[in-house]
Amino acid sequence: MYTTQMDAAKRGILTDQLRIVAREEQLEPELLRALVASGRVVIPANRHHTSLHPMGVGEKLRTKINVNLGVSKDCYDIELELQKARKAIELKAEAIMDLSCYGKTREFRRRLIETSPVMIGTVPMYDAVGMLDKDLKDISVDEFFSVVERHAEDGVDFMTIHCGMNLKTAARVKQNKRLTNIVSRGGSLLFAWMELNNRENPFYEYYDRLLDICEQYDVTLSLGDACRPGSIQDATDAAQIEELITLGELTKRAWARNVQVMIEGPGHMAINEIAANMLLEKRLCHGAPFYVLGPLVTDIAPGYDHITSAIGGAIAAANGADFLCYVTPAEHLRLPNLDDMKEGIIASRIAAHAADIAKGIPGARTWDNQMSAARADVDFPRMIELAIDPEKAGRYRAESQPECEDTCTMCGKMCPMKNMKKILNGEDLSIA
């Protein structure tokens, strides 16, 4: 009997989850098993998440995207967040992170896990502050771990925990002034707890206790980047790299316990630094899958940060990132609504797909070739069917009808696709 997907892979066992992932990713099961055994692929699959359709994240696999949602004190509407979750699944997101930090968080989390076929992630630190209803300073180590265990019992597939924010990393933050300090919510809360109590980060100090929980439920540990840059000015600084080195050390300790690991990364970052950061993570963290927020390639576009994120995400994934956390137009401004969420998901899916073409993922180009063939045939119904967002493509087409049905209102009778098809078929051409 195996304990985790990694344990099974090391023992040479092809789990049901692994077979599903191998089939859908067009990989030989034995190759995928070797990747899981080495830690270069994770299959987040908590044994209590019975509605899960398993997916893999990592080397040689399609780039996956995650959608953040959840209730907060200012926006407490469980039904709306569940509606968002259903929409995210409909729009083909591969993961949902529940970032709830107020109220009946467990009720929402359980309902989400009960019905969700996609993998579910959480940040227990948020819930500790919201659920325990205590001042941050007064939360005990045991209480922190009780929240982690509760999330694992409920069926959470992966958890973001900022284990690398230790006293050494905190010192780097204080010694090297940043423009935007610490922008990670969970990281800033842990930093504050450490400063207020003059103590080490409990998730670093008692890391083996955390691994016990992850191993018991097969929770994938998403090692959070407390020092991710919140501005392009702070990217690739001493604090970020100090933490990344620590995360690499913690990765090896987790693997020794057969706990699956992802590494989280930036953040905000200039375009010319992205490729180097992807290489650094893969080298320092021994090939573990990389999960990035963006990166956002400029800081000046509130209201359009789904675009700045998609630019950075495509470059990051083409250079080795495995998992993109979506960013919506509402980033830095407010909790996203349904429309914001859709814009963010589509932008992230475009970035992920563009990267998969660059990475040579099996079948990635096929979709594009099918679309190009439909355009060459001037087959608008087929183009709309193949679109990443058929609803929007169909609406745009319907809003502006051309004189000739097999053209559009941009080119009309001068449509190069239509005219080239006619000429090459030896037909007469009239564009008058």
Annotated binding residues for Zn(2+), written as ranges, equal 268, 332
Burial class (CB in 10 A: 0-12, 13-18, 19+), 28: exposed
Which residues carry a binding-site annotation for [4Fe-4S] cluster? 408, 411, 415
Encoded amino acid at 337, one letter: N
Pairing of strands 290-293, 41-42: unpaired
Q: Are 63 and 352 in contact (CB under 8 A)?
A: yes
Give the count of beta carbons closer than 10 Å to the beta carbon of residue 86.
12
Which residues carry a binding-site annotation for substrate? 68, 97, 126, 162, 184-186, 225-228, 264, 291
In which residue are the tokens 């409920």 written? 154
Which residues carry a binding-site annotation? 68, 97, 126, 162, 184-186, 225-228, 264, 268, 291, 332, 408, 411, 415
> HSE-up of 33 (CA within 13 Å, CB side)?
14
Q: Are 242 and 270 in contact (CB under 8 A)?
A: no
Nearest CA to 232 among 260, 201, 265, 267?
267
Q: How far apart are CA 19 and CA 32, in angstroms?
A: 9
Residues shown for the chain: 432
Nearest CA to 225 among 205, 239, 209, 215?
239
